[in-house]
Amino acid sequence: MSKIIKIGTRDSELALWQAKTVQQLLENLGYKSELVPVKSTGDIVLDKPLYELGITGIFTKTLDIALLNHDIDIAVHSLKDVPTILPKSIRQVAVLKRGNVNDTLVFKNNEEFLGSKEAVIATGSLRRRAQWLNRYPTHTITDLRGNVNSRLEKLKNNDWNGAIFAAAGIGRIGIRPEESINLSWMIPAPAQGAIMIAAHQDNLDVIEACSYLNHEETEICTTIEREFLNKLEGGCTAPIGALARIKDGEVSFKGVLLSKDGSKKIEVTRTEKLGKHQDIAAYASNYIIERGGKRLMDDIKNEGKKTNVYSTKSLSEEQRLLFNEKVTPKSSDFIKTNPNRIHKHVVKDTIDNVIITSKNAVDALLMNFSPEELQFKNIYCVGRRTKRLVENKIGKVTHSEKNAKALAEYLVEYIEGTEVTYFCSNLRLDDLPNILESNHIKVNEVEAYQTKYDAIELDDSVDSVMFYSPSTVQSYKQKNDKDVIAFCIGETTAKEAKKHFKEVKIAKVPTVESVIELVNDHYV
């Protein structure tokens, strides 16, 4: 190839050092090249918007655009700064042999502060911040940004105990101070210490030339680390560390995800034979996710976001994950229940007709009696979940309906006899007993459990609320006046909600998941 390869680079001292290293390696292979420092994007003429091309990355965007415009032939990057998904038409064509992977602490005077309760450490990296606070929770972290030289100058001019740098960065340009130590306990950023070359996919001659510079072991290790990062959906907004090494025919990997304050940490390690290492990233990311990583990532992503949907029933982890990205939910129980003591004489004989309308009534019965003591001839229920619970714990359900009113109307037509025993709460709707009694069916009410309103005052940012019973609506109104969108689990709950809210939506089926689906359909 006779053409001169144009090497695009940022114009910092470290970026230029990396580009010159690539230039020297190419020249050693007989290729001519020139450096093209790119400072700003300027006026860009492209066929499509940047977001359609997948251009992201604060440190790589300018060079990506220059590649797409064919202003340069290759771009040289610190691989840890490169987004895990490259823009369309741009390819990773080589990774140089890796340098020092460690983070380095540059300190003033001495290291005695490491044993002190109080110290001030400077870093602009969330990952370094989180890992430092995990190890030294009483220390203070201050923000530090800029190029390597300016950050060292700021350390010198401020009353800090130390600052954290990438060992490769300060080592490559020869400015590593003597007062420094490698932090071998700190898991580095994915691909830290590696230099990557990118090119346009159509520039085949240049791709071939750069392929000779590729270091296979470094490529394998950094690919695993970056795939791990990608599968955790991480980037500069999440404290994620990853490091893969190859030794004696084995690939060993360790990864970490932390909360921003370092108080929570999930680690993983994995070793596989070289050649059977392709699933390491998938295994490691799934390991992290299954041990609370998904929730931790969601908390990080939602940090600073204002809650817009509130559930009046505590949601499980699985339920929280069902919301789309437009929803920032919170939840708590607006209704608290306590089972009552039920006298033995209530169930000493067989009861012909029993009505159970909630899980709480089932729990109260089973707290007071064994299943063998509950001799019920006909059991009538409200709700599929209550029915399942009754049949698993007490006995066969004669009939169930989706709400109390529908059950009452059914009983008027089909009940065996003229008397029912209703295990209810101190707070209940009147529909069922009123309908039955108006049709000459005697209702013996047994207060099986106490229901207590336990709402909180919600933030102004909340514009919709998920309700699961009339009681949750009433509880909400005790502490809140705002007219919100009411997402309701069923008709009975919606009837109560319509007394207070202008917009009421009802789930297709009476489940929490169906209410969540209703919320997602609204926030699109």
| Residues acting as catalytic residues | 81
Instruction: Note whether 98 and 193 are within 8 A (CB).
Output: yes
Distance CA 411, CA 427 (A): 22
Beta strands in 221-334 (DSSP E): 240-247, 250-258, 265-273, 309-311, 329-331
Q: First-to-last CA distance in the chain?
A: 52
Q: How far apart are CA 258 and CA 267, in angstroms?
A: 9
Tell me which residue of 236, 237, 239, 59 sits closest to 146, measured CA to CA: 59
Q: Kind of pairing, strands 485-488 and 504-506?
A: parallel
Q: Cα separations (Å) of 479 from 299, 450, 457, 495?
A: 26, 20, 5, 20
- Take residue 46 and report the two structure tokens written for it: 């492209």
Task: Work out the angle at residue 117's Cα, subtended by the Cα atoms of residues 115 and 122, and round it to the nearest 5 degrees.
Answer: 85
Residues 6+ apart with CB under 8 A from 522: 464, 485, 487, 505
Buried/exposed code over 145-163 (b: 16+ C-beta within 10 A; e: otherwise)? eebbeebbebbeeeebbbb
Say which residues have a Cβ less than 8 Å from residue 195's Cβ, sequence separation at least 6. Answer: 18, 21, 22, 76, 77, 78, 79, 95, 96, 99
Are 356 and 362 within 8 A, CB to CB?
yes
Cβ 233 vs Cβ 297: under 8 Å: yes
The answer to whether the beta carbons of residues 92 and 197 sit under 8 Å apart is yes
Cβ–Cβ < 8 Å for 368, 348: no
